[in-house]
Structure formats: structure tokens, C-alpha cells
Amino acid sequence: MEAWIRVRPTLLPGLVGLRLRVLGLAATKSILAPRAYSLFGVFRIVQLSDLHCGQQFFLPHLLERAVAEVNRLEPDVVVVSGDLTSNGFKDEYALAREYLDRVECKAMVVIPGNHDSRNVGYVHFEDLFGDRNSVLRLEGVTIVAVDSSEPDLDNGQIGRGRYRWIEEQFAAGIGSGVGESGTVQPEDTVPTPPRADLRVFVLHHHLLPVPGTGRERNIVHDAGDALETLQRAQVDLVLAGHKHVPYAWRLEDLFVVNAGTVSSSRLRGNGRPCYNVVEIDGTHVDVWRRYPFHGQERIIQFSSDTKTFEKYTARIEDEVRSA
């Protein structure tokens, strides 16, 4: 199985249509391309979460709309932060893969959620999507994604065995030649930074409590140690799902953003199915929640340099709060 990343031709004069070929999708992915988003426009990440394909609450027309809208946005990266399925069954995974194959984005990061690890579903995940932990480096943005699920349990865990690995992925120097996991990188063609301009961590479970989601449960059991690890790694942004309620927090120098469900009717209060769009323009970052074909609302904006921010979550809080 092969994965491809298309590099914008405008970034490399004379190398029109250059592609970086990454062999072995099941291996940890480390994909390199120029740091240029601050010079050549907005770098856009779409976050889809909690698809829940295959159950009675699955709304296929919403996922179809979301895919069509995402393709119009032409994102640089699509992140799918878990719960692709309802119960981890093979036919549910096949349905999820069918929808995600329609997404026209060459850089896609996919991790499983707690529903995906039911019934030994992680086996089907690996068959269809590759490794459950991955690293993507693209245009000055580093994305480290980990599987926080536990088989047949709804709670999550990062695990102390992965703390150092996470820090190493964010701290790794990037050069020419052969990189991590044997990934071949083009020599003398793609200039890369010694440190990512924006560091993004992806998991399924929420690291911080989300308002309006009831009694706190199904958490990341080692959330404190995980947050400390991300602080040491100087991570800028965390993308998560799980609770079906979009929200944003700032914790010291870390911004933690949750996505809602994009295609399930399992909603809390008056919430609506939605997905997140992260737009990066230099050091300025905007996070929006988008309703398929029904507009968007900003959740938070912040500076990755100064860490100043403005949060716009009052409407979300009203949707899940009793009068």
C-alpha cells in the first residue's frame, strides 16, 4: 500500500507536480515538504471526528455533505480523530473507508477511537488504514497522532511507554536522506526547518473536561502525565473528539480543541453535527466549527508565538446548558 503527498508546485520552481512517495502506509509516517505556509497563504487542517459509520444513529447524508464541502476547501491535511465505526466491525470499517476515499486530500491522518477498538476492531483498522500511531511533517507543521483507545473499554490512555516517543517526534531534527522509519526523503530539493513552526498532537479522547457533557467519565486515565509530556514537547495545539461537543481550552501554552460528531445523531442538548477547520497563517491560528453546507462559527483564535487568544464558546455552552 502506498501513500502520496503532493507538494505545491509554486513552492518549488521548476519542480512542477512533484510528489513525495511514502512506501508502506502501515509504517509510522514521516513526510517532509517545505515550510512555506506563512509565505504562500493559509495552511488548512480539516478535523473530522466521530463518524460512527454503521449504526442506527449514523447520518450518511451529513457525511456525504461534509466530504463534498471538505473537497471544496482543498485542505492541506485531513485529520480523522477516531470513532470511524460504531462497534469496530469489518463492514463498518469498510463503509468508513469508502467515505474517506472520497476525500480529495493527499495528506490524511487517521486514528481509531474507543468504538473502533471494540470487538478486536483495531485489526480491521490496521488492515484498512495502517499503523495506529503516525507522524506527519508538512510545510512547517508537525502532527503526531496516537491511538488512545483500549480494547473493549470506553476510557483512554496514552501510556508511559509512549511519552518519550512523543517528545522525540516533536524534537526530531529534519534533514535530507533517510528519515524516521526508513522513509526516503528527496535530497537537495526540499529545504526543511530544524523545528516545526506549529506542533499538533492528535488523539481521540478528551484530555480536559468538556462543559455540558455530564458526569466526567471515559477519560484519558493518564491525562496529567500526558499533558505534562505535551508541555515539555512544546506542543501548540491538541485535536481530540470523543464527547461529540466542540470546545476549546487554553492550558498554559497549550491549546486543546475538541471536535463534535460530523455524522451522528447522538448529540447533547441542542448541538448539531459539525467538524473543525484549523487555518494557520504565519503565527495566527483560527479554529472554526463548520456545519455541512450550513456555515461556520469561530471557536478560538490564537497566536502560536505570543499565545494570546480569544475564545468564542458561549453559543456552544448555551446549546448544552440547562436554563
Pairing of strands 237-240, 19-23: unpaired
Which pLDDT band holds residue 216 (cuts at 50, 70, 90)? Answer: low
Whether CATH 1.20.58.1610 fits 2-319: no
Average pLDDT over residues 211-236: 81
Q: Whole-model pTM above 0.85? A: no
Which pLDDT band holds residue 181 (cuts at 50, 70, 90)? Answer: very low
Q: Is the pLDDT of residue 154 over 70?
A: no
CB 278 within 8 A of CB 285: yes
Higher pLDDT, 11 or 256: 256
Amino acid 40: pLDDT: 54
Amino acid 267: pLDDT: 63
Q: Is the pLDDT of residue 303 over 80?
A: yes
The full DSSP string for 27-53 is SPP-------HHHHS-EEEEEE----B
Helix (H, G, I), strand (E, B) or coil at 117: helix
| Assigned C-alpha cell, 286 | 483560527
Which pLDDT band holds residue 143 (cuts at 50, 70, 90)? Answer: very high
Of 60, 2, 4, the C-alpha closest to 273 is 60
Amino acid 87: pLDDT: 85
Domain boundaries, the chain: 2-319
Q: What's the mean pLDDT when you consider all of the chain? A: 76
The full DSSP string for 118-136 is GGGTHHHHHHHH--SSEEE
For the chain, percent of residues with pLDDT exceeding 70: 71
pLDDT tens per residue, range 32-75: 333 334 445 899 999 998 888 887 888 888 899 999 999 999 99
Average pLDDT over residues 312-316: 74
